[in-house]
Structure 1
Amino acid sequence: MLPPPWTPPSTPAFAPTPDPLTPARDITHGHFEAGDQVMVIKGVAGGRLCGEAMRVVAPSWHTPTDEDGWRLRDPNGGAQTFITAHPRYLVHLSRRCPDCLIFQRAMEDHLLPKYAGHADAIIDCGWYTTTALGQLVHIADARSGR
């Protein structure tokens, strides 16, 4: 599951798909380590899960969740090369670990049937935003006023 580069067009033709899986995911900070290649699953493209591939750089406090997070680097650079994310948003790309594979499979089972008739579309499910502090925040973790 290698993700395509993540610069999707907006997809207003599709209503946001709720994400009941990520907010409830129980994954610890220690599950990832500096150097890991990870992906934040953000939607579907070409009948597969897609998102942003990044490299874990260093531990970082994730202010929106008041928990340990990870500083991530986007190898493609761009307007925001570094962000901080909560571990539950991440899946391993650099190794096949059971926890990430189970989560990935659950996301496939949840999302792929919803967009089966739109195999050529890039669907951004709209679950994430980046704060002014450069922190990736899932809509379920967003605090009012931030």
Structure 2
Amino acid sequence: MKIITCFKLVPEEQDITVTPEHSLNFDRAEAKISQFDLNAIEAAAQLAGDGDEIAALTVGGSLLQNSKVRKDVLSRGPDALFMVQDAQLEHALPKETALALASAAEKIGFDLLLFGEGSGDIYCPTGGPADWRTPETPRHQRSKPYSTRRRQNHR
């Protein structure tokens, strides 16, 4: 089985500063793997059996040039790493990102695609609800227990 786990690079939160004009400055913020996507990478490593192949896939802009991130991803279990860098993806909207991931995943080939629950920056679940899937693509969105009990306010 060929598993592709998709991930997003996000700025290191502790390195983001606020300017005197009250805007965010990302100049010193290094790239890191989104915390939610680390879970997807770990899930791929746990799901893979003997003979299975894990590939990590990301798309984006200049953040992809960070060599530490490449080492970090590959040290977590994937056999291959695919990074699609394009200036048009520098500040891409979620649907554009999903379409770029879909195009790359189709070219690579896969049996199973894994995504994190959301991104670590704006918490947008790009992978799961993306419009790019064909009717033939097997899909399962994140499952979690659901309770019908109403929450009571405790004072």
TM-score (norm 2): 0.26
The structure with the greater share of residues assigned to strand is 1
TM-score (norm 1): 0.27
The structure with the greater share of residues assigned to helix is 2
**Quick check: which has more Rg, 1 or 2?**
2
